[in-house]
Structure 1
Amino acid sequence: MELPERVLSMNLATLRNGSSFGDMVDDCLRHGVTAISPWRDQVEQVGLAEAARIVQMNGLRVTGLCRGGMFPAADSEGRQAAIEDNLRAIDEAAALGADCLVLVCGGLPAGSRDLAGARQMVADGIWAMLPYAKASGVPLAIEPLHPMYAADRACVNTIDQALDICQALGDGVGVAIDVYHVWWDPNLALAIERAGKMNRILAHHICDWLVPTTDLLLDRGMMGDGVIDLKGIRAMIEAAGYHGPQEVEIFSRDNWWKRDGDEVVATCVERFETVC
């Protein structure tokens, strides 16, 4: 049986060195990378129409748009504002032809200690935007984040928690599996297997966990420089039925973000071929 082609996608967060959207695309194309995942601020900087033109002109695959989410808020006005922003994000994802809109769900509202309540706000927020996402042809990918972010960035912290939301809401919503956030989970293998049986895996993000890590947000490692079993996790994901792109997403303020984009992409390609 012919093996599926393994595809590298470049999450443009990896190239946050001050380059423009067009320059980042050029760096990718120079090394044969034809799949990208931009962030909304990067698209806004160049303009949605121009970003879409660059994507179409170069025949790029947009494996995701980052990010929607951030649903919990202290009052109904804040929750409604979040939903409206997510509807705009759906429009942007549709204009770019993105495979999915990645959702970083948000943490506790200001002054709250009600984690269960925050998770309910997440489910309610996704439910409110889901009909529009379906009509726009944009799947929604819940990205569970490491528990260290539960208070301020994401109260959905495991694949199983994300899948519980998917199961409650029905079609049109799945999960983005980012190794940085889930590699530690003792239930990881069973959770990925469950995601496959539910046909909910929409994206696979890769980087590495450095030891020591000097900043829990902005010191992610290049693949192969840390302790994550990247091949092992990918094997689980492929066994679950997902053979889509592996998307490199590295937040690295003091290392990779200080380097030339050409060097960063070249290193990502080399590590993808040798480590992943």
Structure 2
Amino acid sequence: MSAPSASRFSMNQWTTKRWSVAEAVDGCVRHGVEAIGLWRQDVAAQGLDETVKLVREAGLRVSSLCRGGFLTSGSPGSIDDNRRAIDEAAALEAACLVMVVGGLPGVEPGEPLGSGGRAVDRDLAGARERVAEALAVLAPYAAERGVRLALEALHPMYCADRAVLSTLGQALDLAEPYPAGQVGVVVDTFHVWWDPQVFEQIARAGDRIASYQVCDFLHPLPADVLMGRGVMGDGVIDFTPLTEAVTAAGYTGDIEVEIFNTEVWAADPDEVLSRVKARFGELIAR
């Protein structure tokens, strides 16, 4: 089985978080990177129309837009925001809109329980059911606009505050009522490497794989576990079998390097991009 081509490398914008959209696009061009993963808040800061112009004039593919989701509250405001995210993904011609579905209602990332007077809803099954209900509303809206939703399962340590989907299997269960081109899944090495069923579920996913994201799982994790993503080769993940499984499942799209790490973010973005591109060549596209 041949390794992925180095041309499939995509830089997720938050790997070089200090860069604006314009700076990130310019960095991709200077480093010979053909694809970029964008974040909604940075697109908003740049301006949607200006971002569309920048990526098109640079000839870049938008491998993903992050993020939609946070559906567990069941609020109309969440549905409306996700419709806006879908519209933005359509304008950018993004390969998918990444959906981080949300944690338990009332639990805010990084904040103590009960802060702001919020009551915590501990009904985990109910939260997952609200994700399914929201997906039934959003999937047809996305399909009408040519946008593919990509459900991302997050590592179980984020179940309370960011994603009540903790395994690739759970994400596939939610996606299966819809056509594969309408609702797919994200395979992110940081979030799935530990799962004893990961290879079975990657094979099951097949053409539902809408995005493959790579970074390493650091040990020990920092106090803020969100920042525990490292450059490939700096942690504990064996990338070869995961990449081979995703390739065998038929995925031929871009492969994003997405890293949240305070030291990486503090470093010179050009040096970061050079390093992650080299590690991609060593560990992913070999």
Give the TM-score category using the shorter length: over 0.9
Secondary structure in structure 2 of the residue aligned to 1:217:
helix
2:112 match: none
* 2:11 is the alignment partner of 1:10: yes
The amino acid of 2:199's aligned partner reads A
The amino acid of 1:25's aligned partner reads V
The amino acid of 1:98's aligned partner reads A
Count of paired positions = 268
The whole-number CA distance in structure 2 between the counterparts of 1:260 and 1:114 is 44
1:2 CA drift (Å): 8.3
Q: Please list, as runs of the form range in 1=range in 2, the aligned pairs for 1:1-276 lying within 5 A after superposition.
A: 5-6=5-6, 7-17=8-18, 19-73=19-73, 79-110=75-106, 111-171=120-180, 172-196=182-206, 199-214=207-222, 215-253=224-262, 255-276=263-284
The whole-number CA distance in structure 1 between the counterparts of 2:28 and 2:14 is 13
The whole-number CA distance in structure 2 between the counterparts of 1:161 and 1:123 is 11
1:5 CA drift (Å): 3.3
Q: Deviations over 1:146-189 (max 9, x none)?
A: 00111110001101000000113444101011110000000011
Structure 1: runs of 5+ lacking an equivalent: none
1:213 CA drift (Å): 1.4
The amino acid of 1:184's aligned partner reads W
Provide closer, same or farther for how the CA distance between residues 49 and 234 of structure 1 changes in structure 2, counting only shifts above 3 A. Answer: same
The amino acid of 1:54's aligned partner reads L
The amino acid of 2:269's aligned partner reads G
Provide closer, same or farther for how the CA distance between residues 250 and 4 of structure 1 changes in structure 2, counting only shifts above 3 A. Answer: closer
Q: Deviations over 1:33-71 (max 9, x none)?
A: 020011001100110000000011011100110000000
Kept after mapping to 2: 8 A contact 1:204/1:245: yes
Taking every aligned residue pair, what percent have the same amino acid on both sides?
49
The whole-number CA distance in structure 1 between the counterparts of 2:23 and 2:47 is 14
1:245 CA drift (Å): 1.5
Report the RMSD for the aligned CA atoms in angstroms: 1.4
Structure 2: runs of 5+ lacking an equivalent: 107-119
The whole-number CA distance in structure 2 between the counterparts of 1:83 and 1:3 is 39
TM-score (norm 2): 0.91
Kept after mapping to 1: 8 A contact 2:3/2:244: no
2:110 match: none
Kept after mapping to 2: 8 A contact 1:127/1:169: no
Stretches of 4+ moved more than 6 A in 1? 1-4
